[in-house]
Amino acid sequence: MQNEHLSHMKLTLTTILFSIFSILSSAQFPYTQNSYSSALTNSDIVYGIDTNFAAQPDTLLLDIYKPIGDSNCQKPILILVHGGSWIAGSKNDPNIEFLAEDFAKKGYVVAAINYRLGMHVISNYSMYWACNTSISAPCAYITDSSEIIRAIYRGMQDTKAAVRFMKGRAQVDSTDINNVYLAGESAGGFIVLAAAYLRDEVQKPADCFSLNPSATPDPDLLTCLPDSFSLDRPDLGSIDGDLNVQSGNSKIKGVANFYGGMLDLSLLNNSTDKPAIYQFHQGSDVVVDYQYNRILGRINWECFAPTNVCQPYPNMPFAYGSKSIYNHLVAMGSQSPLYLTEIVSNYNYMNDCFANGHSIDNVTMRSSNLAAFFSGVILSSGNNPPMNCSLISVPEISQKDFSIYPVPARDRISINYSSSIHLEKIIWKDVVGKEIGLEIINGRIAEILSPANAVSGLYFLELHCREGKVTKKIFIGR
pLDDT above 80 for 198: yes
pLDDT at 4: 59
Q: Which of 78-82, 137-141, 214-218, 271-275 has the lowest mean pLDDT?
A: 271-275
pLDDT at 353: 76
Q: Does domain 390-476 have CATH number 3.40.50.720?
A: no
d(CA 116, CA 80): 14
pLDDT above 70 for 22: no
Q: What is the pLDDT of residues 180-191, one digit of tens each?
A: 999 999 999 999
Helix (H, G, I), strand (E, B) or coil at 476: strand
The CATH architecture that domain 2-384 belongs to is: 3-Layer(aba) Sandwich (3.40)
Q: What is the pLDDT of residues 413-462, one digit of tens each?
A: 888 888 888 888 898 888 777 788 888 887 777 788 888 878 888 888 88
Average predicted confidence (pLDDT) for the chain: 89
Candidates 343, 346, 193; CA nearest to 260 is: 193
Facing residues of 469 across strands?
464
Q: What is the DSSP secondary structure assignment for residue 212, as one 8-state letter?
A: P
Q: What is the pLDDT of residues 327-347, one digit of tens each?
A: 999 999 999 999 999 999 998
In the sheet with 468-476, reading across from the earlier edge strand, the strands are: 435-440, 423-429, 457-465, 468-476
- Report domain extents, the chain: 2-384, 390-476
Q: Which of 25-29, 135-139, 353-357, 409-413 has the lowest mean pLDDT?
A: 25-29
pLDDT at 331: 97
pLDDT above 60 for 17: no
Candidates 276, 238, 243; CA nearest to 257 is: 276
pLDDT at 396: 65
